[in-house]
Every structure is written in structure tokens, then in C-alpha cells.
A and B are shown apart, each in its own frame.
Chain A
Amino acid sequence: MIDIQKFRLTEAQIVVLGSHPQIIQSMLDYDFLAKRQQPSVVAIIATGRKQERYFWGETEVIIPVVSNLSLLREAKRKTITAVLNVQSARRVLSSTKQAIELLPQLQVVTIFAEQTPESHTLDLIELVADKNILITGPASVGLLVPGYLKLGAIGGTQHRQLSDADILDSGNTAVVSTSGGMVNELIHTVTGAGIGVSFAVALGGDRFPITSPAQAILLAEKDKQTKRIVYFGELGGSDEYEIAELLTSKKLTKELIVYIAGTVAELFEEPPQFGHAKAMAQTYDESATAKKKILKKAGAVVCETFADMRTFLEKRVEGERSPVKRTIGSRQRSMIVSHISGEKDETVRLLGKDLIETVEGNSVASLVLSMLLGQQVTSKKAIAFVDYVFRLLMDHGPYVSGALNTIVAARAGKDLVSSLSAGLLTIGPRFGGAINAAADGWLSGVAGEVSAQEFVESFARRGEVISGIGHKKYHIDLPDPRVKALVGFAGNSNGDRYLQFARSIEAITTTKKSNLILNVDGAIAAILLDILESEFDYDQQQLHELVEIEFFNALFVLSRSVGFTAHYLDQRRHDEGLLRLSPGDVRYIG
């Protein structure tokens, strides 16, 4: 069995399965009020975004989002100690199981969903039986260890609630409740009487809470900070008989103050089913009256009303308690986040430094690459490569569709921005977009560890061309001089595995047709992947992300903009008027 003290000794690192912004924000607010240096929530598992933004005190922090726990880096997974599972009841079993498998340091899980099937809960009970993991729930609002950990909605979801509730520092009374609403009521009753809380846990109102009331009470018995326990239970089930047994067998020696709800059931004609799944008494033994009786007999303090509980607790006050008071001031959510540039102390900053300082410390190529990657780069090799590529891609003659469109617009008398846009808008899957597509191919080929043969065949089966392969003019006996120049940048510390892969593809495709060679796009993609991996330690997930956001096309777009602009200026300088196709240029069929 786990020891509550553990949660006071380790600074919890929490991953949230699913997203519940209101609850996550309240956990961060609690961390801040309890003077943690960093937020406890370190990752969120959800789809459709890569990060979520939360307040940290009066400023903001970013929490990374991944779509599956398995995509969280292993090094990070090894640091996770707690899980808040807010996914739907249908996914409770599979997602909790996965968390237990993938998180070796896991200490505690809170399962929030209602309506988890009993048999799924029983599977989880069996799964954690021989593990040192505390699971609260299903249908639990969480675990609170004052001053250290708030896992779930427990204690409230507004920072004012948290700062007003006197739960920022530890006391000596444990709160155990099957009900989520009542756990908070009990916390208020305890602190309202002038006593601090050692820990508070909501076990959930299901028939089989994974941590049973008796087990939770034993946690309190074992916890050195806890002097007494306040427990809220309901009619239904037999948990209170186990608790009574703990008292009579002296396994529980600390003072136990209980409130058992459900006497009103006696008013109903048929045994009523109350709000919680367990809250139904079919027999007298399961009734609130019977449970109160047995607990009283075993030596518990049984309260008839909440006012009684407060009065009783007030008698237990030892000395004046001066609760820690901290508050969070007003705060406003910003509209966007930028990692590139912004104003700070009334000066414009770029890549973390004063604008002028950054500008003076960078060449064009190093500034371009730094800004595109969102971090100041220093790798000489990477900068030299980008510089070369930038120059190489600037223009490829007026023949290509993008340049032609710029020229057509310029000749039609359009302005610079319109003409440039006409060219840029032409860039896509068939023109200029191949670097990104090639990078995607090389990356997935290497990541999937498929043979070059399989790779080529999979494209052939789908009837697709391989991006980065093939040239109109150049062929195996007449190699592209640009590719030759680019390959001069090989020799990276990763063994050039992407370039090697691209070359192995070329070796196959050229046996089919001599012009199916590695082209400029394919070579840039492969070498850039090798450089990013070797010089910047990007892992495959990060490289994949760069593909997704079209990083590899950005270089082409930027560089070719120079070419389009040059063609625009050229046309305007030597204006020949509107360009129109002659009848000979169009063959009409009809």
C-alpha cells in the first residue's frame, strides 16, 4: 500500500488523459498558490492541438499536448508520478491500463468519469492489487494533499475558492468521502472548525471504488501527519462493516468521525436508488441506520447532523491556526503566443535578444534558419547549407508555372504584391512543393524501417510518383550538377541515413528508367533531415512535426520569392503590354 507521505516528498509530475481545462487550470492555480516553482501538469493527452495555454499565477504557461500517451517521449514518461484521467467511461479501462504500463514511476491515478462498467473497474482492482499505485475513482473528484498536490477538481475549480478554503497548508485531519460534493463540504466543515486537513480523497460513489473506504482509512491510519479521520458514507454496500471491523480489531486506532447518509430511504415505498450507483439499500444491513449502529458500536463518533460534526470538531481544536493566505490577482488571456519575437520592457526582441543584437550577430542564412526553426542556431554547417540552398532555389528560369504567372500578372499591369502573389499561389503539389513531400517519404521510409524495394513498390501500387525522384532533362549518365553540389554537405554524424535511403531508392528507380534519379528536391530534403538530426538532435517525432507544418517548403517559398520579384521588376522595366495567347497557341476542339 502506498504512503500518503510519499506525495509530500515527491513533487508530483502529472499527465492528464483527456482535457478538462477548468480542472487543469484549478490544479495549476493550486500549485501556484502552494508556491510550487513549476506547474504539476506536464502533459495532456488529447487530439487536434499541440499545446494548451493556462494561467500560471498572473502570467501564462504552455502545456504540451500529444494524441497518445505512447507518443510522449520515454524520458518524460519516466518522470510522471500521477495521472488525472478525464476520458469518457468507455475508455477508462484501456487508458488507465496503458498509463500503468507506460509510466514506471506512477504513484496515483484519479478517474473522473461516471458510468464506468463494474467489470472494467474490477479488472483495474485486480491490475493494481500487487502494485504500489493508488487509484481514486471511478467517479472521483480527486485527491488533495494540502500544500503539495491537487489531483482533480477536489477543493474547487476557481482560484478564489482555493485561496479562501484554507487548504494551502497541511493539518492533522484526513477527509475520506464517497461523494465528490461532500468531500468539499467536509473540507469546509473541518477547516471551518479551525482544523487543517492532512489529506482529502473522494473515492467515488460507484459500487466498487478501486480504493475502498476501508483502504483509504488505513492510508490515514498509516499517515503520521494524520491524527483523526472524518468519513462520509452512504447507504448501500457493506464498506462500513469493514471499517467497523478495522476499529474492533484495532487496525484503526485513530479517532474516526463519520456521517452516514441515507436514513430518508425509509420514507420510500420501494428501496430508492439515489444519485450514486452504490446508494441503494436492498436489505436492512445496507441501510444507513444499520451502518450507523455498527460504527457506533465499534467506537466511531457518529454524527446525526453536519452541525454536530462541526461542534465535535471544534472541541478538538488545539491552539490558534493561522491559515496560509495567498491570492492570485487579475489576469488576462493573450490572443496569440509567439516564440519568435515580441516586445519586452518596451524594446523589440527577436529570438530572445534585443532586435539589433540578434540582427548583428546573424548572417541572412543563419537568421532565416533560426527564425524558421524558432530558435537561435549556431551550427556552421546548417547555416552554410541553408545559404547554399537559398541561393540555389532563387530562380529556375521564366518557364516554370510560378514565374510565368508572375510575368502574366506583371504584364497585365498589376502591382508588385499582386504579381508576386500570383506566382506564390501557384506553389503546390506539382510545383515547388516537392521538398516537403520528399522529406515525408524519406522520413517515413527510415522510421518504418522498410526496405527500398518495399518503399518503391508501395508507391507503384498506389500509382503515385515518389517525390524527390525524377528529372525531365538529367538522367543517370547526365547527372544534375546541383545535386552533386548539394551532396557535398553529406558526412553528417547520423551516417547520412536519410540520404543513404534516398540513394537506395534511386538505385532501384533508375533501373526502371534512367531519368528517375534523385533530384534537387529529394536531395535537399534528405540532407536537411540528416543535418537536423545530427546538428540539432531532432528526433523522428520532431522531424515529422516539421513535415506536418511544411517547414521543408518554407525554404523554397522564401528563396523563389526573390526570383518572382526579379521577374516582375524585369517585366515592368521592359514593359511590352498585356500578354495574350495567339490563336496558334490554343487548339480549339469542337
Chain B
Amino acid sequence: MPRKKLSEYRAKILVNGALGISYVGWTVSSLDDVDAIEGYDTYVVKVDQAVKGRFKKGLVLLDVKRGGLGTAVKALLGKGYNSLIVEPQLDHDQKAERYLSLLRNRAGYKIAFSAHGGVDVESKSDAIETFALTDNFDWDTLAKKTGIAADKLQTLLDVFKANHFAFLEINPYVLEGKSLKILDIAIEVDDAGQYFTQLWGGDDIRTPNTLSESEQYIRELNDNSPASFSLTVLNPDGAIFLLLSGGGASIVIADEVYNVGLGDKLANYGEYSGNPNTDETYTYTKQVIKLILASKAPQKVLFIGGAVANFTDIANTFAGIIRAIDETAVDLQKHHVKVYVRRGGPNQEIGLEKIKIALEEHAILGGVYDPHTSITDALGYALESLKAKKK
């Protein structure tokens, strides 16, 4: 659905390949992969997981000799990352660094160039020139400016279009005589286009975060279902737990927690949507409850919420949630968890009635509200319960 980042390794293979430049590099996800690396004296080892500001975070190791590769790889994997890239270290003149990027926006495609590239290109943004790629674009002028041949630039655009790239940044590249040397590349792809391309696949997508066990579990649930699920743990010892439905409503509810100044108490963010089945909401709820029980916060509240659904069946989705609550009710009680619910949509009467009965039976009922109570008010009652207990 969204834009995703390709691994640096895949991006370099793709772009160098398209421009007919030879490229040497290795992708490394375990110590065993180091064995295959050979042919150079000095290497650079980098985390290849779409992390911003790698240099500053110490995720790029320079001047690594062949014998030191194992240690370097071990060090970076030890920080919780699982994807690295190793390349021969090649020296170049930093002053000659240039910048080129391609992007797609609503109006079409744009190309940007700066003769002053490198890590701090954004601070020299005045030097960046942007060109809209219209049908009668003057490629020759751009070729003169960039030092890259017109046909190569056009090839780059073709590859970009045909393979559902959304953003491509070459920063920096240098010209050595007539030959072009690309030092770093970043590509964002539109992951909805994956079906239509052979040049990249799901394995090439990188995310910066190292995932916790629960987050990983929900990602797999998401990948194997036509419905969608997401979960991010913000504060493992938080007091406010959210079990939300709907892309828009879930942000609204999380926002309203943050906007009243309780962001530090917010344990998680996440949502399910697209009418998941009962087993799926059961699985999702179990993971959220696991987080609740693991939190060391003295008071805890679970808010099960969403807007007025158009087609997601409330009775069905709640059936899974209720099953998970039934199974863990004793523990939830022990942890003095109160549960608040606010939801509307198809079969809301049945869903809300059933969850109310279940919560009452387990003595963990905070409140159950239908759309006549606004999201804000229902959430307010839940947050209020935390304060009340403090006294």
C-alpha cells in the first residue's frame, strides 16, 4: 500500500545494471555470508535497512581490512540489524560529488540535480535545480549539466516508470573522465506495483525498525491475510493500550491520547481493517493482551475503538476479541485492567451487547459506547479511569 524502501544492494544492482556500469558488492545477513567476499584490500560495511543518518548512528564502518570483516559484520548484526551491505572501499574526490534524483508526483515525473552532492546536500538546497519531465523535455541540456549521457538519463526514467519506483536518489555520483561512478543510491518503490515488476520483490524491501516479537507476529498476520493489521509498541510499560480499527479512526484515537498530554503513557499504536475474520481478530487481540500483561505500569486501561464502520461486521470482529478476552480474563482482572469500548457499524447492536456482557461477567467492564457517544468522550472516560485510580 505505501511506499517502501529497497535495499541499497538491490538499488545499486538495478541502477548500475540499467546504465551498463559494473558493480561489486555483497549482501550480508549472517557471518557465513562473509566467506564469499574476496578480491579487495579494504572494505566498507554498512547497515542496509533504510535507516536515516547511518554515519551519525555509527552504522557505517570504514577502512575494514579483509581479516576484520567478520568482526565488523558481527558488531553491526549485534545491534539488532539483520541486513548489511559490504563493498570495496574506493576513494574519490569529495568535492566532485554530484546529486541526481527522480521522483513521481501528482503532476508527473521530476528530475533534480546539484553539482554539490554528498551527505549535506540538503543544506545546500539552493544549488538543487528541478526539472519537470514533460513530453518535449530537452534531454541534451540536462546531459551537459549532469555529465550523464542523454540516452542513459532516459533509460533511468524508463526503468523508474516500468518498475513502479516512486523516488530514486543518486547521492553522490562522480565523473572520472568520461566514466560515471555511482557511490550511493536510495530507491523508494510503490509496493502496490510489485505484481507488475520482476526487478524487485518483497525480499528487497527494507524497514528501519528492529521489530519486537509481538510486532513481528502481527506483521506476519498482516502478510498472510486479505485484511490489514499493524502494531507498534511505543512504551512497553505504558498504561494506555489501544485495540483499534480503521486507518483514519486509529490515528484520531491515538492523537487524542497524545493531544491531552498522555503520550508518554501510550503503550502501543495499531489497527485492523478490511473486515478481518473472527480468528484474525482473536489472534490480534491476544498479542495486545500479551503486551498489557507484560507492562509494569500500576494502572492499565484497554480502549477498543473505531469509527462507524461502513462494511466491517462488528459482531464478527468482536467475536474474536471476546474469545481472547474470555481466555485471559483472570489475568486481566489480576492486573486491574478496565476495558472501554466505542464502536459502530454493521451489526453493532449484537457486537456491543455481547462484549458488554463478557466484560461485566469478568468484572473488567469500564464502559461500552455506541456512535451516539463521540470518540473523544468515550476515550475521555477511559483516560479518566486512570486518574481516578491514582487517588
Contact = CB atoms under 8 A, between A and B. Distances in A.
A89 interface: yes
Contact of A181 (B166, B259, B306, B377): B306
B177 interface: no
A181 to B, nearest CB: 3
B311 A153 contact: yes
A407 interface: no
A277 B273 CA distance: 14
B310 A276 contact: no
Interface of B: 1-3, 52, 104, 106, 108, 161, 164, 166, 190, 192-193, 195-196, 208-209, 228, 230, 232, 234, 245-252, 254-259, 263, 266, 269, 271, 273-274, 306-311, 344-348, 371-372, 374-377, 380
A188 B1 contact: no
A10 B196 CA distance: 39
Contact of A306 (B166, B230, B246, B375): B375
Nearest to A114: B1
A203 to B, nearest CB: 11
20 contacts: A26-B311, A122-B104, A122-B108, A177-B248, A179-B249, A180-B246, A181-B246, A181-B248, A182-B246, A182-B249, A184-B345, A207-B2, A207-B3, A261-B255, A262-B251, A272-B232, A274-B247, A306-B252, A306-B376, A310-B374
Interface in A149-177: 153-158, 161, 177
Interface stretch (A263-271, A514-522, A527-535): A263-271
A125 interface: yes
Contacts of B263: 264, 266-267
A156 B1 contact: no
Nearest to B375: A306
Contacts of B375: 185, 306
A117 B346 CA distance: 30
Given A181-B307, A270-B209, A280-B2, A192 B372 contact: yes
Contact of A264 (B104, B255, B372): B255
A212 B269 CA distance: 28
A275 interface: yes
Contacts of A268: 232, 234, 269
B376 A305 contact: yes
Interface of A: 22-23, 26, 89-90, 114-119, 122, 125, 141, 153-158, 161, 177-185, 187-189, 192, 205, 207-208, 212, 232, 234-235, 259, 261-264, 266-270, 272-280, 288, 304-308, 310
A154 B311 CA distance: 8
A210 to B, nearest CB: 10
Contacts of A276: 1, 247-248
B228 A275 contact: yes
Point out which of B192, B254, B256 has the most chain A C-beta atoms below 10 A from its C-beta.
B192
B263 to A, nearest CB: 5
Contact of A189 (B52, B273, B374): B374
A184 B308 CA distance: 6
List 3 tightest A-B contacts by C-beta distance, closest first.
A179-B248, A275-B247, A181-B246
B106 A156 contact: no
Nearest to B50: A270
Contacts of B380: 307
A235 B2 CA distance: 14
A314 to B, nearest CB: 12
Contacts of A272: 232, 269
Contacts of A122: 104, 106, 108
Given A180-B310, A205-B248, A307-B376, A275 B347 contact: no
A133 to B, nearest CB: 17
Contact of A270 (B164, B195, B208, B250): B208
B256 A305 contact: yes
Contacts of A89: 192
A181 B249 contact: yes
Nearest to A180: B310
Contacts of B161: 119
